[in-house]
Amino acid sequence: MFKVHTLKRLPIVLFIVAVMLVTAACGSNKTENQKQTAWDKIKEKGELTVATSGTLYPASYHDSKSNQLTGYDVEVVREVAKRLGLKVKFIEMGFDGMLTSVNSGKVDLAANDIAITKDREKKFAFSAPYKYSFGSAIVRKSDSSGIHSLDDLKGKKAAGEATTTYMKIARDHGAKEVIYDNATNDQYLRDVSTGRTDVILNDYYLQKLAIAYYSKLNIMIEPHIRFSPSSGGMIMKKDNQELKNKIDSTLKKMKEDGTLTKLSKQFFAGDDVSVKPNIKFSK
């Protein structure tokens, strides 16, 4: 009687065991997915999602003839992605939105002439630098906006985006902030020229090109203000170490084979921003 009873229950027992095995397998797959790194997901998708402004010449802008997104940072990212076997999807936004989008995972990284700072390194990971520069000041040509040193910024109207390192410097020196959200160079520069604002603190190489392009405006780079030597790179989430390593390794090869120098000279009118400048900084 015992054997017959056991045989009758056997199909039920086998069914329960099968269900347990399937459940265990599903749990195993879930665990594997949870361990998937940012780099694994990018590789699986075959695409890097990158935040950039599309309004910052010559780092990230739209070509006037083709309207295609291009620029030094944009083309550096494209070359890195190409060498990693990936496509690139650019999402254009203001600078403040870039950091939020990186943190939330909406984008894999941001590239937009972003300065590497100690404060940002506490919250984010940066690629190896591919741009070196320093700060300068655009003022009115007619009267220098009354500015000849950083100390002269007190009470002056400084134009910029709220969370940039340059606006922090202006704020620390007592300037009045005039905040713009992803505005074009044309708007920034005309406002200084007409007196709506007094000064723009920003990257020297960017300002040099802007002054040359808008040569008819009443603006110039103040010759005595040279401050804050800086380096710039791509910014990503703090824990995306594998992605950072892949990018750093690729950038190193691009520096060694002259690709970074070639791209720099293409977009910065012959200047090589991929090496540290040799200049004297103002006190």
Q: What tens digit of pLDDT does each residue of 96-135 get?
A: 899 999 999 999 999 999 999 999 999 999 999 999 999 9
Q: Is residue 273 part of a domain?
A: no
Mean pLDDT of 254-280: 95
Q: What is the pLDDT of residue 283?
A: 59
Residue 235, phi then psi, degrees to nearest 5: -115, 140
* Total domain count, the chain: 3
Rounded Cα gap, residues 97 and 163, in angstroms? 10
Look at residue 5 and tell me whether its pLDDT is greater than 90: no
Residues 195 and 102: their CA atoms lie apart, in Å, by 36
H helix and E strand count, the chain? 10, 14
Structure tokens at 184: 């074009």
Q: What range does the domain containing 55 cover?
A: 39-130+233-267
SS3 228: strand
pTM of the model: 0.74
Residues 75 and 153 in one domain: no
What are 58-91's pLDDT values in tens digits? 999 999 899 999 999 999 999 999 999 999 999 9
275 in a domain, yes or no?
A: no
241 and 121 within one domain: yes
Whether residue 101 is found in the same domain as residue 151: no
DSSP labels for 157-207?
EEEE-TTSHHHHHHHHTTPEEEE-SS--HHHHHHHHHHTS--BEEEEHHHH
- For residue 283, being part of any structural domain is answered with no
**Looking at the domain assignment, is residue 191 inside a domain?**
yes
Q: What is the pLDDT of residue 119?
A: 92
In a domain? residue 221? yes
| Same structural domain, 192 and 120 | no
The pLDDT value recorded for residue 33 is: 52
Among residues 194, 193, 166, which one has the least CA distance to residue 180? 166
Per-residue pLDDT reduced to its tens digit, 221-260: 999 999 999 999 999 999 999 999 999 999 999 999 999 9
Taking the mean position of all CA atoms in its chain, how far away is CA 149? 29
Same domain, 211 and 161: yes
| Residue 224 and residue 145 share a domain | yes
Scored b (16 or more CB within 10 A) or e, 103-122 reads eeeebbbbbbbbbbeeebee
56 and 124 fall within a common domain: yes
CATH for 202 = 3.40.190.10
